[in-house]
Amino acid sequence: NGKRRPLVMGNWKMNGRLARNEALLTELKAGLASGFDAIDVAVCPPAPYLGQASKLVAGSAITYGAQNLSTEQDGAYTGEVSSGMLTDLGVKWVLVGHSERRSLYGETDETVAKKTQVALEAGLIPVVCIGETLEERKTGDTEVVLARQLDAVLPVLGSQPASAFVLAYEPVWAIGTGLTATPEQAQEVHRFLRDRLASSGYAQAQEARILYGGSVKAANAGELFAQPDVDGGLVGGASLVANEFIGIAKGAV
Ligand code: PEP
């Protein structure tokens, strides 16, 4: 995957406090200070801590993203965070359609497509998350489900250069479970997704970054990221532990 720059992104989920975040980001800054020029590294703290992250990563190559965004801009949308607020805080990336958003907060393929569009319009890089459940894998529906989830965002992504977005394949059965997809399982799906991008008429399918997510740790990152169509990882639990996250980033170098 020589054409594609690896990306390792931490999703902190709803974790963190000012003191803990400072300690973690300070360790990451030190640990990632040299030897990581060939990859992109990013963290996605909870929204209230994006301003703190912006200050703490200043002067380093670490960038930061949000975990969600509103479909709306300003106005009477209590509790929501808009794309304009995120860009105001220097946010570069935004997760869209994480499986927890889909399963716990009712986000549909349509919501995900709309949020992807809103992110792109603001100049944020959406990291669009898709993945099958264990049940869907068992019944042999993995590709049907992934095709449906990908096709929902293709009308929005199709007009964009590959640098404008990232896809993340996160099998739901591997998220937070300690069950990681094997490198072969990940590669099979990543190839399927890239082929589908290409067969849909998307000209830059070979340049599009597709991350793997689901119980990535320092111990398994290297073999996952070595797969030809795996361009890095989206990391939940292990991104809260500095040495683990640094070890995962090493797996992408
Ligand atoms: C995630 O939340 O995107 C994720 C992959 O979580 P974990 O690494 O904890 O499985």
In a domain, 67, yes or no: yes
**Cα 20 to the chain's mean position, in Å?**
22
In a domain, 2, yes or no: no
User: What is the pLDDT, as a whole number, of residue 10?
Assistant: 98
In a domain, 228, yes or no: yes
In a domain, 135, yes or no: yes
11 lines ligand 1 (CB under 6 A): yes
Q: Give the residue numbers spanning the domain of 210.
A: 7-252
Label residues 5-44 b or e (16+ Cβ within 10 Å = b): ebbbbbbbbebbeeeebbebbeebbebbeeebeebbbbbb
User: What's the pTM value of the predicted model, to 2 decimals?
Assistant: 0.98
ipTM > 0.95, yes or no: yes
Number of domains in the chain: 1
User: What is the pLDDT, as a whole number, of residue 1?
Assistant: 53
Count of other CB atoms within 10 angstroms of residue 75: 9
Give the Cα separation of 31 and 135 in Å (integer): 39
What's the full length of the chain, in residues? 253
Closest Cα to atom 1 of ligand 1: 236
Residue 129 CA: nearest ligand 1 atom is: 3
In a domain, 1, yes or no: no
Known catalytic residue at 170: yes
Closest Cα to atom 3 of ligand 1: 236
pLDDT digits (tens, 9 = 90+) for 173-229: 999 999 999 999 999 999 999 999 999 999 999 999 999 999 999 999 999 999 999
Give the Cα separation of 213 and 118 in Å (integer): 23
180 lines ligand 1 (CB under 6 A): no
Give the Cα separation of 9 and 206 in Å (integer): 20
Q: Is the pLDDT of residue 2 over 80?
A: no
pLDDT range class, residue 107, cuts 50, 70, 90: very high
Instruction: State the CATH number of the domain containing residue 196.
Output: 3.20.20.70
172 lines ligand 1 (CB under 6 A): no
Closest Cα to atom 4 of ligand 1: 236
Q: Please, what is the Cα angle at 12 between 233 and 71, to 5 degrees?
A: 90
